[in-house]
Amino acid sequence: MISKNPNELHRKILKLRKIHNYTQQYVADYLEVDKSTYAHYEAGRRTPNVIKLRKLAELYDLEDELLGSTFPIEASTEYPKEMLDNLQKVIDECTTYSGDYESEKVEFEKLREALKPILQLRNEALDFPDININMLPTNITVKRVYLNMRAEALIKKCLDKQIELMNWK
């Protein structure tokens, strides 16, 4: 969910990049992220973590104050459809507990590998900025995260399948 507030971080970094005539690739390289990750920052689909925000402030010679962004910081989890489809496929193809340790270990690893990039994106969205909350007014929402319900359901399904494979139920 992207608000139309012109003070939002994603609009500011897009404007700053254009003012400085930088390419997305140049800024992405500076931040040491993929170009697609930086494009998500500009589109408001992902929020840079505090380290990346500091690097942006350094790049544009700004005060290190989250580039003047307003609260709450909004983030949403955006997953490539193929990533979620792959996890669904791995879950569907996974066998059930059979007592054969070696085959279950292989199945468990397939699940883990399919889940890993999804959890990485989710954790980035949930990452809390390094802000001294004691300096903020009371009753303020610092960060709001919108989760992808399909991804959340698949994460639970995958974890349940891993528990089943390990016979932990």
164, 96 in Cβ contact below 8 A?
yes
**The pLDDT of residue 81:** 94
Reported pTM: 0.59
CB neighbourhood size of 60 (10 A): 16
Domain boundaries, the chain: 6-60, 73-166
Q: What CATH topology corresponds to 6-60?
A: 434 Repressor (Amino-terminal Domain) (1.10.260)
Question: What is the CA 96 to chain-centroid distance, rounded?
Answer: 31
143, 77 in Cβ contact below 8 A?
no
Q: How many helices (H) and strands (E) does the chain have?
A: 7, 2
* pLDDT tens profile 24-53: 999 999 999 999 999 999 988 888 877 788
**The pLDDT of residue 6:** 38
Of 90 and 96, which is predicted with more confidence? 90
Nearest to 87 by CA among 47, 116, 120, 57: 116
Of 113 and 77, which is predicted with more confidence? 113
Of 5 and 100, which is predicted with more confidence? 100
How much of the chain exceeds pLDDT 90, in percent? 43
